Chains A and B, each alone.
Chain A
């Protein structure tokens, strides 16, 4: 097997100096190329810390984080991130918002001006993929919450990241919009050559989308179990109502409840 895209080994991360809170301790996680991993756990278990460690926004005090075969010592620009809050810049149109990462990433920023048309075409294609065709010229405040989140996904993907990190991206959406976006993510993962790590509170979401569900313990967070999701792809929403699916969700639920109680 090829070396994993992300390899976190024995990582401790403490906030606020030597006496601060230990957010994660003895963390071990490997994410293979092309894999879809969902991270679940009780609240405050350091899921967001895990994301920040992987993207290089935080450097751990001990242990090692290796992404794409190199030790992480500064932000790695091969990731795209999306949060629950879409954080679209209100003074830019949706299209300009999506192009923003290209103005930052070293590899693209010098090419952007000369190859604008090419990048715009790419952004429009992405918009089409997430069902926002023709909305590029609209301002973010003219879009609904779900549409903003779709645009947010486009922004996270525009620079063709190898790794897409999603931190509860659908937490603030209603149930129907959320299911729609599950399918958008599912199709993105199927068509684009991208590895996805999804942090979520929603167990059904994790089982529906992921190849592997990782359960974290209460603070200080570490991985207590990993579950391979057996359901064949492509998965349809009907899967949500199958007994095997619900059994798995229930099992995860039980594990997290135990982890919470242990805290």
Chain B
């Protein structure tokens, strides 16, 4: 039977070589590389653990102190995210308000810039006077430091509506509210979601600064007290946890941005 088979010569597909996607892999490799260099550097230089602990020593510390690290990480994540959420609500609100009219924009913008120029760490003592030490000042500092980029971006999105678009709609009898709802707000969304990536990292700065100065929980406070006990590996463990939380939240914001405003990555805003 097999003799009746017509043997069409098919070029054997070359066996797919194990293809490594270097681009996808590179973040992992580079991170490992960084730790390896750090480990080697610390060992060769022979610096004591109280100055520069090796990564292995830091991971050991994470393992050893896992319970307080976990508790304080959750606390910091909580204050940061809460402050960040308030910043989103307030930032959107104030951004829309500022972007609404040229007069408001001109009047409030310098005030906002001046306010943003104040180092937020200088506000923590005032917040402590008002609210006592603990969670509230940390949340508020995270909020205060992170809402500015949101405001600026939302206001910019509204203020840069093409005049032709506005003319077309106004000629149809559109009110300011119509133009804002149909054009201004959707248009400012890419700016808004873009600003969230900046804002979330700033929120971590705010909450940790406040925890370091005035709190009895959170990673900032944990690192401050570890430092006073010369427990340097624990300080580094805290830094590492902050980096992990920061990366995770940034990635989340980037993902949300991509999901919500895919169109903005495909088109230029000008048409």
- A141 / chain B contacts, CB cutoff of 8 Å: 263, 266-268, 271
Q: B264, A75: Cβ atoms under 8 Å? A: no
Q: Are A85 and B162 in contact (CB under 8 A)?
A: yes
* Inter-chain contact A81/B271, CB cutoff 8 Å: no
Report the Cα distance A139→B189, complex, angstroms: 17
Within 8 Å CB of B271, what residues of A? 85-88, 90, 140-141, 148
Does B269 contact A55, Cβ atoms closer than 8 Å?
A: no
Question: Which A residues between 206 and 246 are near B, CB-CB below 8 angstroms?
Answer: none
Contact B174 A104 (CB under 8 A): yes
Do A104 and B178 have beta carbons less than 8 Å apart? yes
Evaluate contact between B182 and A87: CB separation under 8 angstroms. Answer: no
| Chain A 161-219 interface residues, beta-carbon cutoff 8 Å to B | none
Q: Quick one: closest A residue to B162, CB to CB?
A: A87
Asked if B60 lies at the interface with its beta carbon under 8 angstroms from chain A, I say no
Nearest B-chain residue to A109, judged by Cβ: B178
Q: Which of A74-114 contact B (CB under 8 A)?
A: 74-77, 79, 81-83, 85-91, 100-101, 103-106
A38 to B241, CA, bound (A): 69
Q: Does B169 contact A (CB under 8 A)?
A: yes
Residues of A within 8 A of B162 (CB): 85, 87
Answer whether residue A52 sits at the interface, using C-beta atoms and an 8 A cutoff. Answer: yes
Q: Are A81 and B267 in contact (CB under 8 A)?
A: no
Collect the chain A residues with CB atoms within 8 Å of residue B186's CB: 89, 91
Which residues of B (150-189) have their CB < 8 Å from a CB of A? Answer: 162, 164-165, 167-174, 178, 182-183, 186-187, 189
Contact A57 B267 (CB under 8 A): no
Q: How far is the CA of A52 from the CA of B269 in the complex (A)?
A: 25
Of A75, A79, A91, A105, the most chain B CB neighbours within 10 A belong to A91
A34 to chain B minimum Cβ distance, whole angstroms, is 20
A42 part of interface (Cβ distance < 8 Å)? no
Query: Do the beta carbons of A139 and B266 come within 8 Å of each other?
Result: yes
Contact A105 B170 (CB under 8 A): no
**Known A88-B271, A91-B263; contact A104-B172, beta-carbon cutoff 8 A:** yes
Q: Tell yes or no: A159 within 8 A of B by CB.
A: yes
Chain B CB within 8 A of A56 CB: yes
Q: Please name all residues of chain B whose beta carbon is closer than 8 Å to the beta carbon of A101 when the two chains form the complex.
A: 168-169, 172
Checking B167, B171, B183, B268 against A77 with a beta-carbon cut-off of 8 angstroms, the contacting residue is B171
Do A77 and B164 form a contact, CB below 8 Å, given A85-B271, A86-B271?
no
A90 touches B165 (CB 8 A): no
In the bound complex, what is the Cα–Cα distance between A155 and B164 (angstroms)?
14
Determine if A83 and B172 form an interchain contact, defined as CB atoms under 8 angstroms apart.
no
In the complex, what distance in Å separates the CA atom of A68 from the CA atom of B263? 40
The reply to whether A90 and B263 contact each other, CB–CB distance below 8 Å, is yes
Taking a contact as CB atoms closer than 8 A, the residue among B170, B171, B174, B183 that contacts A89 in the complex is: B183
CA distance A156 to B264 in the complex (A): 24
Shortest beta-carbon distance from A50 to chain B in Å: 14
Distance of A244 from chain B, by nearest CB (Å): 36
Produce 1/0 per residue, B9-43, CB < 8 A to A.
00000000000000000000000000000000000
Check if B266 sits within 8 Å of A76, measured CB to CB. Answer: no
Are A55 and B171 closer than 8 Å at their CB atoms?
A: yes
Which single residue of chain A is at the shortest CB-CB distance from B169? Answer: A104
**CB-based contact A105/B173 at 8 Å:** yes
Give the CA-CA distance A105 to B170 in the complex, in Å. Answer: 10
A104 touches B173 (CB 8 A): yes
A77 contact set on B, CB distance < 8 A = 171-173
Q: How far is the CA of A140 from the CA of B164 in the complex (A)?
A: 16
- In the assembled complex, the Cα of A105 lies from the Cα of B174 at a distance in Å of 7
- Bits for A101-132, please: 1 = Cβ < 8 Å to B, else 0: 10111100000000000000000000000000
Report B203 CB to chain A, min CB distance, Å: 28
Report A17 CB to chain B, min CB distance, Å.
16
Which of B165, B172, B174, B267 has a CB less than 8 Å from the CB of A87? B165
B178: chain A residues at CB < 8 Å are: 103-104
CA distance A139 to B183 in the complex (A): 16
Chain B window 254-270, contacts with chain A (Cβ cutoff 8 Å), 1 for yes, 0 for no:
00000001011011110
Flag A131-159 by CB within 8 Å of B: 1 or 0 each. Answer: 00000000111000000100000011001
Q: Given the complex, which residues of B lie within 8 Å of A103, measured CB to CB?
A: 178, 182
B interface residues with partner A (beta carbon < 8 Å): 162, 164-165, 167-174, 178, 182-183, 186-187, 189, 261, 263-264, 266-269, 271
23 contacts between A and B (CB under 8 A): A55-B167, A57-B167, A57-B171, A77-B171, A77-B172, A77-B173, A81-B167, A82-B168, A83-B167, A83-B168, A85-B164, A87-B271, A90-B264, A90-B266, A91-B189, A100-B169, A101-B172, A104-B173, A104-B178, A106-B173, A141-B266, A141-B268, A155-B168
Task: Spell out A's residues near B (CB within 8 Å).
Answer: 52, 55-57, 74-77, 79, 81-83, 85-91, 100-101, 103-106, 139-141, 148, 155-156, 159
Beyond A90-B267, A148-B271, 7 additional contacts (C-beta under 8 Å) are A52-B167, A89-B186, A90-B271, A91-B187, A91-B261, A91-B264, A105-B173
